[in-house]
Structure 1
Amino acid sequence: MKTAAVAAAPVVLLEGSEAHKPLPKVRVSRVLSVLDFILRVAAALGTLASAIAMGTSRQTLPFVARFVRFKANYKDLPMFTFFVIVNSIVCVYLVLSLLVSIVHIIWTGAVKSRITLIILDTAMMGLLTAGASSATAIVFLAHYGSSSVNWFPFCRQFNNFCERISGSLIGSFVAVVVMVLLIIMSSVAISRH
């Protein structure tokens, strides 16, 4: 009789101690939902800044003759136009998904909407990666050229234009990383249910 009481005592002490209690599922899910909201806002701002920076990039070089001018504009290259369109689409999606993220903060038990967000986030991440990668290839050629096909680096002449298009890639790639984090966090939140 005495051995049964001694064996039960440590179990009672472990259950009552604060160090061994697991965090409540609702609290962790709410923290993940708030973090999801903050990351969505950051990604939306990154894609918006990238689209604006690329969409407003243009430079005109004066030349000796009055009627001859050299211009560089983002519309001249289809990859840059694709980049602006993709970043705009992803920015609109992220702003609209903020509503669903607010619902997840209030109601942490939503699973179907989280699965839908994972699917849409993955599609948007792929689209954003495609746009940023195609623009990166052209920016690389603009900076370094290609001697095998006699393409000269035109960033020597169009410094402001090249700085602006290079800077616009940063916000887009940051948004890609944030989208990866959003997918991982949504997966963790679903696995906790």
Structure 2
Amino acid sequence: MMKRGDYTTIDVPESAARSSSSKEKAPAMVAAAPVPRPTGWNKGLAIFDLILRISAIVAALAAAASMGTSEETLPFFTQFFQFQAGYDDIPTFQFFVIAMAIVGGYLVLSLPFSIVCMVRPHAAGPRLLLLISDLVALTLTTAAGAAAAAMSYLAHNGNPNANWLPFCQQFGDFCQKATGAVVGSFIAAVLLSVMVLISTVALRRV
């Protein structure tokens, strides 16, 4: 039997003491470093968008200039009548010139935003603004090109049911310039469509 005043000493291993103290403390959470997002793909899309934008500027302004300078006067005329054809004689061609000039001016003004998207590939604001503006420009280009194409078709082939005679046989140079302008507008529309697609893909990767 143990008497009062007698004590027994029990040695506790150091490893057990450490394990018990570690259980009392909550495990420390190590914050993972943020993984940098790859910028190569978006930057490549921005560079391609800038190249397409410059090409669309050339196509739109060339279409407007070609239609705006389409004019021809026949060599034979009388004292009271002069046979002349110009784009301002047809309201559809007037709308075409105004629309393509607006689209070309917009594309010039959009170049700084495209450069910002190239420098900051993950900036969503400028890319979204370009997407909406490109859609409006695409709609205007398509409308002007389609209307001018329909009028050019009538100028080349006429419409016997409506007694509309084709006059491109007489005004060949005028019709040739007008047709070239329509082709230029369609090229600009295709380039704008690709730019809209690029902006959509870039926004999905932001």
**Partner residue, 1:167:** 180
Offset at residue 65 of structure 1 (A): 2.7
Structure 1 runs of 4+ with >4 Å offset: none
Conserved 8 A contact 1:54-1:84 = yes
Q: Secondary structure at the match of 1:155?
A: coil
Q: 5 Å matches for 1:28-107? A: 28-63=41-76, 65-107=78-120
Tell me the equivalent position of 2:29: none
- 1:123 aligns with 136
**Shift of residue 25 of structure 1?**
2.7
2:160 alignment partner in structure 1: 147
Aligned equivalents of 1:64, 1:101: Cα separation in 2: 52
Note the C-alpha offset of 1:63.
2.2
Q: Please, what is the CA RMSD of the aligned residues?
A: 1.1
- Percent identical among aligned pairs is 42
Aligned to 1:113, the other structure's residue is in SS state helix
Unpaired runs of 5+ residues, structure 1, are: 1-23
Residues 25, 192 of structure 1: 8 Å contact kept: no
Residue of structure 1 in register with 2:26 after alignment: none
Contact between 2:77 and 2:83, CA under 8 Å: does it hold in 1?
no
Q: Which has the larger radius of gyration?
A: 2
2:158–2:165 CA contact under 8 A, matched in 1: yes
2:171 partner amino acid = F
Q: Supply the AA of the counterpart residue of 1:33.
A: A
Deviation at 1:62, TM superposition (A): 2.5
Name the CA distance, whole Å, in 2 between partners of 1:64 and 1:190.
60
Distance 1:64-1:124 versus aligned 2 partners, 3 A rule: closer
Deviations 1:94-135 (A, max 9, x none): 001000001111111111211111111101100111111111
Q: Note the residue ranges of structure 2 that are not aligned, 5 or more in a row.
A: 1-36
TM-score between the two structures when normalised by the length of structure 1: 0.86
Question: What pairs with 1:182-193 in structure 2 (closer than 5 Å)?
Answer: 182-193=195-206
